[in-house]
Amino acid sequence: MRELSEDGIEQRFLDPIPGYRAIKSLARGLGGSSDPTAFKAAVLTSPDGGSELVYLIEDHGNGLATVMIPSAPSPMGGAIKIVPRERIKILNVGMSAVARVFSQWGVGAQALLPKGKLQ
């Protein structure tokens, strides 16, 4: 009988569970992981020039990306959008910092943003 590695067990038994990969990526993002599959804190610039704090969920590699726009004060729920990748700027902060700002209705957002313009 062939033994399964830890990765093999995960792929065979856990990956098929709905939501498993998303929760795993979310946990990595909240933990500050540098894993490329981890969700990342970012700013989405709208065509009208406004900006929103978002979580970068997935870079499609074709000029598009999936983002989640959290709702305050609950940072774990919100809208999912597919947007042009060029409208996204990854922040140099952990997702937990962004989640904290959402849970405080936006208080502390200024400290997360890069100095100067976002674009």
Question: HEC states along the chain?
Answer: CCCCCHHHHHHHHHCCCCCHHHHHHHHHHHCCCCCCCCCEEEEEECCCCCEEEEEEEEECCCCEEEEEEEECCEEEEEEEEEEEHHHEEECCCCHHHHHHHHHCCCCCHHHHCCCCCCC
* Interval 26-82: pLDDT, tens: 666 555 556 656 678 999 999 888 899 999 989 999 999 999 999 888 888 899 999
**Residue indicated by tokens 């200024």:** 110
The pTM (predicted TM-score) of the whole model is 0.71
Whether domain 6-112 has CATH 2.60.40 = no
Can you give the pLDDT at residue 114?
80
Domain locations in the chain as residue ranges: 6-112
Residue holding tokens 């004060």? 73
In one letter, which amino acid is 55?
Y
